[in-house]
Amino acid sequence: MIRGFSALTLLIASAAPLMAPAAAQAQTAATKPAPKVEGAFTLPALPYAADALNPAIDAQTMTIHHGLHHQAYVTALNNAVAADPALKGQSLEALVAKAGTLPAVVRNNAGGHWNHSFFWKSMAPVAQSGQPSPQLLAAITAKWGSLDAFKKEFQDAGLKRFGSGWVWLIRDAQGNLAITSTPNQDNPLMDVAEVKGTPLLGNDVWEHAYYLKYQNKRGDYLSNWWQVVNWQKVSERFAKSAR
Ligand SMILES: [Fe+2]
């Protein structure tokens, strides 16, 4: 199985054509999604159509990524919170901030929910991708020399992330920009993050984010992804993060 593709991915009609009928039937019998419970956390709608990020990201990837993977994190988080009275009523941000003190199921799924909610808003259709604000561009240029040099280092960090995880542009507590990477569904807001800071931009380098279109070519995904980065949103986050 493709790493990062949960069996849940293969349960819907849109994913079924990926498998032979017998294999799909066996997969369905072997793994069923956890029962969905009503909870505090809900799947946010995509801020654009599933096919809006073509050609950088195809519609099927977006549909599965959002509707199944992200939904699975939300469902699992709601189930975990429902089973633990100590967690009830806490915000997603509160859970993420102390993720290292919580059970792995909460850390992973709270992170998954936060990261993907952030990710969808970090992208826009190609025609609306825009450019960094003058202030953000100046900060990037001061740190990396040029926007292209920043992109290259960001892509390199994504390539070096072994297995599944994320690559981030953050602003640290001293106000400095930095490129970081986190494993699994961790993020720079977590107490367990090696480098902490306010995320300004994040890219999902789990194979489920790109495998249908790019297969093993993570580098091509990382370089094409710039076409759909929502620089207006990133610039807003940069402005808000000012000390
Ligand atoms: Fe993802």
* Maximum mean pLDDT: which of 7-16, 26-35, 64-73, 79-88: 64-73
Annotate 110-132 with b (16+ C-beta within 10 A) or e (fewer).
bbbbbbbbbbbbbbbbeeebeeb
Ligand 1 centroid to 143 CA: how many Å? 28
- Identify the CATH number of the domain in which residue 61 sits: 1.10.287.990
Model's pTM, two decimal places? Answer: 0.85
Q: Is residue 97 part of a domain?
A: yes
Ligand 1 centroid to 206 CA: how many Å? 6
**Average pLDDT, stretch 67-96?**
96
Given a contact cutoff of 8 angstroms between Cβ atoms, the answer to whether 11 and 33 are in contact is: yes
Ligand 1 centroid to 138 CA: how many Å? 30
Count of CB atoms within 10 A of residue 226's CB? 16
Ligand 1 centroid to 29 CA: how many Å? 24
Tell me the per-residue pLDDT of 98-143, one tens digit each, with 9 for 90 and over: 999 999 999 999 999 999 999 999 999 999 999 999 999 999 999 9
- pLDDT for 13: 37
Domain that holds residue 90: 7-121
Judgement on whether residues 13 and 104 belong to the same structural domain of the protein = yes
Q: Is residue 142 part of a domain?
A: yes
Tell me the per-residue pLDDT of 138-192, one tens digit each, with 9 for 90 and over: 999 999 999 999 999 999 999 999 999 999 999 999 999 999 999 999 999 999 9
Ligand 1 centroid to 125 CA: how many Å? 18
Q: Is residue 2 part of a domain?
A: no
Residues with CB in 5 Å of ion ligand 1: 204, 206, 209
Q: Which of 84-88, 182-186, 233-237 has the lowest mean pLDDT?
A: 84-88
Q: Of 121, 156, 172, which one is at a domain's C-terminal end?
A: 121
Ligand 1 centroid to 160 CA: how many Å? 17
Ligand 1 centroid to 142 CA: how many Å? 31
Q: Is residue 145 part of a domain?
A: yes
Q: Is residue 1 part of a domain?
A: no
Ligand 1 centroid to 141 CA: how many Å? 29
Judgement on whether residues 107 and 25 belong to the same structural domain of the protein = yes
